[in-house]
Amino acid sequence: MGARLAERARKTFQNGVAFINRPVGVKERVCLRVERCDQHWEGALRVGFTSVQPSLMDTPASVAIPTLTDRPGYWAAPVPQTLTTLGSELQFWVDSKGTVSVMGSNGMRYKLLTGVEVKKKLWAMIDVYGQTRAVLLLGSRKKVGNSFSSRRSCPTLPPPPVSPGDSCLCISEGRRCHPCHKHNAFENRPTAPPAGLYPEDCSVCLSEIATEVLSCGHRCLCQHCARRVMRDFGRCPLCRFPITPLHDVLG
């Protein structure tokens, strides 16, 4: 794939952080396609930018959020899961005000985060996380001067169509495959809760059903505990990503 495929090991939901190998410009759109999915995890693709040259990182990060975003010079946010289904194409970019946005093939744009330091060199960051197991880099697009045309990097032949053969789509097919029960056993650390056909208990009170999907993609709180956690802590109890209202949709 010419170093354009970023794929995570199937047995885990993390250890999939990748970077574009050159700095990207303001308003330059990084284009991706979701190649493989494993629906038995919660959460999905995260994207963002860093002002730290990736080759100078001291230690590899297991996840972008919060391992990297707790450090200065890293900005990342979850992509809405409606944009991360198998075969979906999307693009993300940062504008001159430091706002990171993402757009799916349906043309809808979502604001993911603000505060990126655009006066520094920036490298695009992709976290192949949760339900997203592999993404293919389709190059980037950048507007040419003041014209309405754009220039695309990495001119290549169109990639082959996505095949679901190597993806686990057990949830959408209305069944739960046996390997799904075993995936969390590979990790000796706290794991993302499995997504399945059966309800999960609230991770705080352990007595009510978890119904609230947080902005990080985790469904781990009942309605009562979600209000209390947002008021008192403001972070997901599983990954510590800040709890915010649903992503703002830009017109």
Each of the 251 residues of the chain gets a pLDDT tens digit; together they read: 557 899 999 889 999 999 999 999 999 999 999 999 998 888 999 999 999 999 888 777 899 999 999 999 999 999 998 899 999 999 999 999 999 999 998 888 999 999 999 999 999 999 999 999 999 999 887 765 554 444 555 545 555 666 677 788 776 655 556 444 444 433 333 344 444 444 577 888 878 888 888 877 778 888 888 888 888 888 888 777 787 654 443 44
Tell me the C-alpha distance between 94 and 46, whole Å: 14
Topology annotation, domain 5-140: Jelly Rolls (2.60.120)
Fold of 199-250: Herpes Virus-1 (3.30.40)
Which pLDDT score, from 0 to 100, does residue 194 have? 47
pLDDT at 169: 75
Look at residue 83 and give its three-state secondary structure. Answer: helix
Distance CA 62, CA 192 (A): 13
Domain boundaries, the chain: 5-140, 199-250
Long-range contact pairs involving 243-246 (C-beta distance under 8 Å, separation at least 24) = 243/214, 243/215, 243/216, 244/215, 245/215, 246/215
Residue 53: its pLDDT value, please?
Answer: 94
Q: List Cβ neighbours of 42 (8 Å cut-off, separation of 6 or more).
A: 130, 131, 192, 193, 194, 195, 217, 218, 219, 220
Amino acid 152: pLDDT: 57
Note the pTM of the prediction, 2 decimals: 0.70
Distance CA 101, CA 110 (A): 6
Quote the CA–CA distance of 128 and 116 in Å, as a whole number.
21
**pLDDT at residue 246 in the model:** 40
- If we measure between CA atoms, which residue out of 50, 9, 66, 36 comes closest to residue 218? 66
- Supply the pLDDT for residue 181: 43
